Structure 1
Amino acid sequence: MLMRSLKPPELINGTRCIVVSCNPNVAEVEIAAGAYKGQRHFIPRIPLEPSDTQLPFNFQRRQLPLRPCFGMTINKAQGQTLKYVGLDLRQPVFTHGMLYVALSRTGDRESIHYLAPN
């Protein structure tokens, strides 16, 4: 999952991608879903500086703005269409609206699986 908006509207925060190749300074990814599915892009390492630091010196690190995504929160899933949805309902959802968002990510109720207490 892309963690920064790099090239709107194609590469925005939350875009699910498949890493095709990964080099020390750049990763080649293919967009996995949505209107831009199948497009390939190069994601460079970007410099990151801490915003709240108590250190007497400045530092920055460079990293790829990608994170492995095997599961996502309801907030990250909003606006996406998924083939299958799995919900862990052992902890209650925050609001009814969040439950609606989670349940409406797929068009088929047979594609929704949930884990509930008892």
Structure 2
Amino acid sequence: MSTDRDNTASTSAVSVGLRGRCPRCGKGPLFKGFLDLAPSCTVCGLDYGFADAGDGPAVFVTMIAGTIVVGLALWTEVTYEPPFWVHLAIFLPLTLVLCLGTLRPIKGLLIALQYRNKAEQGRFDP
């Protein structure tokens, strides 16, 4: 890993990560596909080899979207007692929109925070 991490952009990691931009310059794209990371920044040349969000984004999305959808489904059931097909018609699309809509920004946020905080894999030094 290079020592260029001290040269960070003046933008916040939250702003840069949620927009899917390079954590160093804030201008280049972080992703080359929907969730695939680009190999490096096209503007400043930062190598994204350090980035490893793992299962973190999926866990956060599952917890946040699950809480919202289950809470709304329970409230709808208790208040209106609709048939089962109404739950499927409302909450299945809502689940897909919430999960797919938040997965990329949260992955970008975790990668930007990993870069800004210089997070690395834990190692034992003998």
Name the TM tier (shorter chain). Answer: under 0.3
Q: Which has the higher strand share?
A: 1
User: Which is richer in helix?
Assistant: 2
Q: Which structure ranks higher in relative contact order (CA pairs < 8 Å, sequence separation ≥ 6)? A: 2
Greater CA radius of gyration, 1 or 2? Answer: 2
- Give the structure-2-normalised TM-score: 0.26
Give the TM-score normalised by the residue count of structure 1.
0.27
